[in-house]
Structure 1
């Protein structure tokens, strides 16, 4: 679920201590740990009208509300999930009345929609789900992930506490993250798009943190001018794919790490398929196509993105240096994207999505190499990884609000926080666009 869906749900369900109802329409997608349901739109049930006292003396969704939302799920190819709340705190389960209601209604709903249907029950700190499939089978939901500044993982009961990090290679950092936090890092599948100056630093940091699986995407090869900036690159790497020193370095840092290397541009079908499976995308490639594809996949599959960049303006004639910028942009699905911020140029995007020969032919002036320095690359990479680590391990101070973009100006020692907002009508941030659609086929919604 997105941050905004969670804010809306908690405001509706937990404000007065009484029971309330809603329906969550969800897209579907495969995931690295199993199938995923992607919260696309939350429809609140109005008390006394859509959420009423049933014939069995308990509150339930009104039949007309169920029919209308289920019909919409059928038209749009989405999963129908009814939602209600219980009064407990850190553990939750469906009651016998709930389960009887599911057995009575969900098989028919699954046949009506032709999609998975089910129920979710929440407390502020726990969640459980009962899923029914069109073939008559059913399954429990493993967990609910909430994409806030801290990635919340809600389960029916608290996760079991582990112990013994004193004997682990991660002893020192687990003293900050806790054993559960370190285990969470080990379960993640993380993509690094672009393995140049910033990307190579990211690989080093993420591997040493204990991230379980890295997906490395870059179609470029090592040039002699890359050697001062590519972590662990050697003169013998010149001419090799940039994925090769990245793989070597990741395995040196963490022999247990799993790696998927793709020597293709990010818009290649293989790269797109792998990106859709990850838990987080680090975007260290600066092309318009990379920004667009990462934004589209992050929105469609509800995957957080961190985009990084360094700008070092040097006058070509005088050699004068302008204001240096090192920026880190954490992006939560539905909360503002690179398109909303004006960081995807439509003209450059149209050029960048063509073949290499066509891209060069479309540019009347050849692109000159830009300045790049490892310390500045490391500045933005470290900012990005620290934000990611605190988010995964729940260490962000929630009182500070949603994540902000961090802009460093090293020449003047300034550091600005920029609050991002979604633009009205953005197809990436709007539930009527691609947000949370996943693999679900698009269908025209009736007016």
Structure 2
């Protein structure tokens, strides 16, 4: 079972600044409201950039010392009353071990305090939610305890109704650089980098390489770009890959599908790719899905993943992944390529990065990335779509076999992988958007330092979906069977 708590850096920084202060000699408390999504093999707790954060002052405590803290009952009641009036299902209580420097762990006193508080939640607070349905939403409560020190943190789910009271959580912080505090049992200071990755040692720290080995990447697209990205991720040392692509390999794909053979034609791309990857990397954990990523049965995969990478040429799916990135707080790296033939041949590649809660998404970045006509065609209600088409706002376009070339896919993949590794290692500010054009030797790059775009409150994605997880359905294109009935049919049945 994978268990993780994912913080927006904005919230994480506020918590750290409150708990870790120079000259501090007493513990303190804070509370955060969050959302938990449970899937069949994962539990993900999401703390969005706009999550409520309660930083408690000195007058909130009945007693404080160097190693313990006790809250006034009236203050606790007010916190629970405020929580009850929301639709959040997760209450996080945070205290500090200011005396620890690098790593910290829960003490026996913490164990006792956490069990006592959880019993109060189960015996009194949850029954109150059921009884006061007119005031609050009846829902199961997830109780999270966390301890923070100057150089690390530990977190766990607490539930005294289960035989195992405590369930450790990996901590992830999504910001300008990725930070992770894995469950302490999974990491030692010794360099455990596998020998086949030893050429990484000069630029990837052992702790970062260790985390790569624990990470799970969701790769959408297993075509010309996706096949190169999949192998690149495996060679970087990623521990697990989820690959999604519904397509079969055909003859026209062989000029760019890495490792593809004529004998593979007619087979599912994800299966061809999986065979190759397992032969090269036997220890790589692979999960493949020969379905459109928008299929409802696949929504749980977003709660399993740590990162989202898109290697596709479909803006309708790109729009969906952009929403999933923000909703599940997944750092999203998206690559795209095109070969222009008129008026002259040109090779173009593009990279976009979404850091939920920190950077703008593809909808509010101010950079024209998405084909909104195609998205409107796929997502609009049939009646609306039909009216727009009749008015000339949406033009039907036949499928065009776009020109493609292997070298361009390799260049785009290389740029994406360098930026993905940069995000983990923090060598320079992360690229948010870049465009390369071969003919004019143009290379435009915006990063978090030169163009620090932020999530917009008015964005229908960042302003609504941030950190919702499984509590809200992702936006799915309408089935092909529902596409655009005639305007006469609509008007006759209005």
Which TM-score band (shorter chain)? 0.7 to 0.9
Once the two structures are superposed, residues 235-287 of structure 1 have per-residue CA deviations (whole angstroms, 9 ceiling, x without a partner) of: 22233222233223322331322222211111012332323311111111232
User: Does the residue aligned with 1:9 lie in a helix, a strand or coil?
Assistant: helix
State the alpha-carbon separation in 1 of the partners of residues 93 and 405 from structure 2. Answer: 52
Does the alignment pair 1:326 with 2:349?
Answer: yes
- After alignment, is 274-283 or 172-181 more displaced? 172-181
Identify the residue that residue 39 of structure 1 maps to in structure 2.
Answer: 47
Q: Note the aligned Cα RMSD (angstroms).
A: 3.3
Q: Which of 118, 123, 126 is residue 149 of structure 2 equivalent to?
A: 123
Deviation at 1:68, TM superposition (A): 4.1
Deviation at 1:115, TM superposition (A): 0.7
User: Does the residue aligned with 1:170 lie in a helix, a strand or coil?
Assistant: helix
Identify the residue that residue 425 of structure 1 maps to in structure 2.
Answer: 458
State the alpha-carbon separation in 2 of the partners of residues 374 and 79 from structure 1. Answer: 47
Report the CA distance shift for 1:24/1:230 in structure 2 as closer, same or farther (over 3 A): same
Report the CA distance shift for 1:69/1:306 in structure 2 as closer, same or farther (over 3 A): farther
State the alpha-carbon separation in 1 of the partners of residues 376 and 443 from structure 2. Answer: 33
Identify the residue that residue 8 of structure 1 maps to in structure 2.
Answer: 14
Q: Which of 437, 441, 444 is residue 416 of structure 1 equivalent to?
A: 444
Tell whether the 8 Å contact from 1:70 to 1:109 is kept in structure 2 after alignment: no
- After alignment, is 26-35 or 375-384 more displaced? 26-35
State the alpha-carbon separation in 2 of the partners of residues 151 and 387 from structure 1. Answer: 12
Report the CA distance shift for 1:326/1:66 in structure 2 as closer, same or farther (over 3 A): farther
Tell whether the 8 Å contact from 2:42 to 2:304 is kept in structure 1 after alignment: no
> TM-score, structure 1 length as denominator?
0.83
User: Does the residue aligned with 2:300 lie in a helix, a strand or coil?
Assistant: helix
Deviation at 1:192, TM superposition (A): 1.4
Deviation at 1:202, TM superposition (A): 0.4
State the alpha-carbon separation in 1 of the partners of residues 97 and 277 from structure 2. Answer: 45
Aligned residue runs from structure 1 range 289-308, under 5 A: 289-308=316-335
Does the alignment pair 1:338 with 2:362?
Answer: yes
Report the CA distance shift for 1:234/1:97 in structure 2 as closer, same or farther (over 3 A): closer
Report the CA distance shift for 1:154/1:203 in structure 2 as closer, same or farther (over 3 A): closer
Identify the residue that residue 398 of structure 2 maps to in structure 1.
Answer: 366
> TM-score, structure 2 length as denominator?
0.76
Report the CA distance shift for 1:270/1:85 in structure 2 as closer, same or farther (over 3 A): same
Once the two structures are superposed, residues 5-56 of structure 1 have per-residue CA deviations (whole angstroms, 9 ceiling, x without a partner) of: 223223333355445532122221347974232213141325245xx23146
Deviation at 1:309, TM superposition (A): 0.8
Tell whether the 8 Å contact from 2:173 to 2:179 is kept in structure 1 after alignment: yes
Aligned residue pairs, count: 426
State the alpha-carbon separation in 1 of the partners of residues 433 and 299 from structure 2. Answer: 25
Aligned residue runs from structure 1 range 216-365, under 5 A: 216-315=243-342, 319-321=343-345, 324-335=347-358, 336-341=360-365, 343-352=369-378, 364-365=396-397
Does the alignment pair 1:105 with 2:117?
Answer: yes
Gaps of 5+ in 1: 443-447
State the alpha-carbon separation in 1 of the partners of residues 298 and 354 from structure 2. Answer: 20
